[in-house]
Structure 1
């Protein structure tokens, strides 16, 4: 069987490993933690991240990057944004010009404001791999691991490379489209987490469906504004990596960004929420990065600004909503 390396044994990395295993690939799953490796290999479970799921026996785990990457052609990074740069440096010695690097991480590097593919390309020279592909879209790990119908998109600057990755993932449960707009797919996947925090805040405050529908709609406008400024295709934001991912993340309790926002709306502090969740909430750092980018490029993002103020300046969620509602009148399509 062909073999795929998956770096990151959280819920999403494990769920994508199940898809690949269903497609007759051997999956080498990398984890930092010995106890997690033992559980996956011995019991074929990953209870912390995907409780009550039995993993295919063609998935095995290791803490050794060298072992995981041996005899592979595809390397899938499913890691927190803050880990991407370091891991790229660590895997570089084991890569060949035939390797395709795929990532399914949704964030922006806080220190540099780089997208994930930009980080990868900075750390892994073009001659050291065949190309980079991003996989994104509305896809809760819990549902993918149950083989419920899911549709995603893969994006690359080279269509043939995107089609290669499309072929290794697509099956009757997991439909995959291609898209040439890497910037738009990455920006849509990252920034929807900001709006999901807001949707959770809305629900925690008890503001109802009208407010959440408006938040999502105007949030998509903000995502599109910043995306266009960064060079994205506007049509991408009407697709799976845009409105599709936004709907899934803002309306489901599977979303850790929604859960974080909900707890904040219920009165918990950010430190309390992050400590109790025990998992990375990408939207928190992405809010800071997007707010800083918007300021530097003079892009109007009032929802992002309000969420930034709640997260980092101690503004009360209810006051943030009241200030948003009380802004001066404007046209819906003005400054789109």
Structure 2
């Protein structure tokens, strides 16, 4: 479960030693242009994976090329050969957990057209059936017209079918009292809390300290992550209830990453750092040189080319 770099210097060497390809279009490039991803994969070069390279997480799925948090984005990440996908979980008016980033539906669905009198179109003000009828793909490109906001159960089933792994974010838990228990219940029902899943295929994260603490108290066996960049002097407090500190890439330094790695998390392993959101090759090499363990990215194929991640 834990990926450990030998040293920040080794990570730097690996990042800069990688020779980038100038070859044919990648799978994701083809997908963005509407080409067959299967045909594109056949013409592209195999990904280069280096020892010590960071783990790659497809942010909201392969969201540079498909509408975020949809099953299409999950499938495209799988087509690209990305093991880990990241998603966001919120709760509907009637208690269903759905996979969507914003706490309103306006940006990524046609809710304003379908329900013009229900502004501000909060997720919590709509039933699961109402949300299931929205178009969550046309805003991205016409190619994805008719894509839906998946329930968490639908999302879990697809990730499991694809034999992928999940970095699950509980979004804005302050809006949804008890969402931690609800999330764990759905994970249990979907078969995601067995020993193999817990040890190797699932991480639960949040920007909320209280949420991460709650998840840890309810399921001490789960790997958890805190989203943010705590001060170095406060990191020991976080190590009491989490396993990873996942910061925005602009907020970190090599010294800060080393300070995180110097501590052991709640399961006795060195704390990890998975940084977000990195889509630029130069930035990817920069954070790799800092020694991060993982990179959360909308464009995992681009970052893989840059750093040899997996």
Q: Which structure would you say has the larger RCO, counting Cα contacts within 8 Å and 6 or more residues apart? A: 2
TM over 0.5: no
Give me the TM-score of the superposition, normalised by structure 2. Answer: 0.31
Give me the TM-score of the superposition, normalised by structure 1. Answer: 0.30
